[in-house]
Amino acid sequence: MQKRRFNSNSGRSSGGRRFGGRPGGFKRNGPSHGKKGFSSTRIDISKFIQKVLPAEDEIIYQPEHKFVDFAIDNKLKSNIIHKGYTEPTPIQDKIIPLILQGRDVVGIANTGTGKTAAFLIPTINKTLLNKRNKTIIIVPTRELAFQIDKEFKDFTFGMHLFSMLCIGGTSVRDQLRNAKRNNDFIIGTPGRIKDLVQRRALDMSLFQTIVLDEADRMLDMGFVDDMRFLMAQMPEQKQALLFSATIPNEIEVLSRQFLRNPERISVKTKDSSTNVNQDIIKVGDPANKLEVLCDLLAKKEFTKVLVFGKTKHGVEKLSKSLIQRGLKAESIHGDKTQSKRKRAVDSFKSGYVRILVATDVAARGLDIDNVSHVINYDIPATYDDYVHRIGRTGRGKKKGEALTFI
């Protein structure tokens, strides 16, 4: 079934007007209140429009390696192949050999480019070679921690390697108990890991490898001091791996302070994914937004849709409105317990519901196959938030669609 594309000639439909041409750098005027001094009123609307290149115009990356070429354990290779991986993505192709050599690295890449496997594969192999080589992975959100832990379990199937999740929203008592076990990998968010360290349940000096994933997001969320606190307690001869979509000055300072002559690898092309066809929809009267959304969701090509809203209350209200109209929808936001958030995501992943309405808490870390569309029901606070929202579709080599209501 051919996916319908939104283009400049699509005209009026569904109560909203679509724009396919670039609006000449038009900006909406208004005060700045968002992070980093940018608010939704200051984002250049033309940034929400980008056409996917025709297949014949795409530049196909030719990796230097195959996964079987890497100097890693044969059982690990078998598990990689079992997951369906044959050729590495650019970030995997360039960074895995460096990590295997013991180098510190700074990886700069768009979301959805395979960063998780890029650091998990070589760090797992490091532990297989020596069980004393323990790794701690620090991430900005619980959802990302869950996703990395699942990938870890897939890669280490049958290897007797163990991981522990250290995240908020779950029992600290259980984590205090689990921390006493022989965990090879700790995966968690900065606040909870710092809490366990201060309670002396975790000893940072026992970890030989640290991964800071989505470091720019942790900076945005105010975790830079926690990152410094944790890294300062690690052995001087550690291996440090830092991944980020952008490298703001504070992250640059952090890398100079705690990384040893790191190799910098950038596979970033544009700010947003080149696999995502991006367009805007002129809604007109805000009262029309729900009708426009429902008309879109009624189309058969909208098979698995992430809808982003600005506030927790708004997301919950929108989700209930969609359900009342007979649509299978779930919501995810900060007021939901971790178990309810997980249940909502699992329902969306499995296809039990085809619409997930979310705040930006879901914009990072969710790796869900075959998301056909991302809809920005509310304009994001910053362009970085926009990039990470739409990064939930068009992952890997797949194509996706992103629509922003204006």
CATH of domain 12-50+271-405: 3.40.50.300
pLDDT (average), residues 181-201: 96
The predicted structure's pLDDT at residue 20: 36
Give tens-digit pLDDT for 72-90. Answer: 999 999 999 999 998 999 9
Q: Is the pLDDT of residue 1 over 60?
A: no
The predicted structure's pLDDT at residue 363: 60
Task: State residue 134 phi and psi, 5-degree precision.
Answer: -100, 150
Name every residue whose Cβ is closer than 8 Å to that of residue 260 and which is 6 or more positions away in sequence: 104, 240
**Count of residues in the chain:** 406
Edge-to-edge, what's the strand order for the sheet holding 239-244? Answer: 163-166, 185-188, 134-138, 207-212, 239-244, 105-108, 263-266
SS3 248: coil
Give tens-digit pLDDT for 235-269. Answer: 999 999 999 988 888 899 999 999 999 999 998 76
Distance CA 376, CA 49 (A): 13
Give tens-digit pLDDT for 79-120. Answer: 999 999 989 999 999 999 999 999 999 999 877 789 999 999
Q: Binning pLDDT at 50, 70 and 90, where does residue 42 land?
A: low
Closest residue by Cα to residue 151 from 84, 103, 225:
84
Distance CA 376, CA 287 (A): 16
Beta-strand relationship, 276-282 and 16-19: antiparallel
Q: 67-266 domain in CATH 3.40.50.300?
A: yes
Domain ranges in the chain? 12-50+271-405, 67-266
Phi-psi sector, 202: left (phi>0), alpha (psi -120 to 50), beta? beta
Instruction: Write the DSSP string, 161-214.
Output: --EEEE-TTS-HHHHHHHTTS--SEEEE-HHHHHHHHHTTS--GGGEEEEEE-S
DSSP state of 22: -
Closest residue by Cα to residue 81 from 155, 174, 186, 192:
155
> Which residue type sits at 380?
P
**Fold match flag (12-50+271-405 vs 67-266):** yes
pTM, full prediction: 0.69
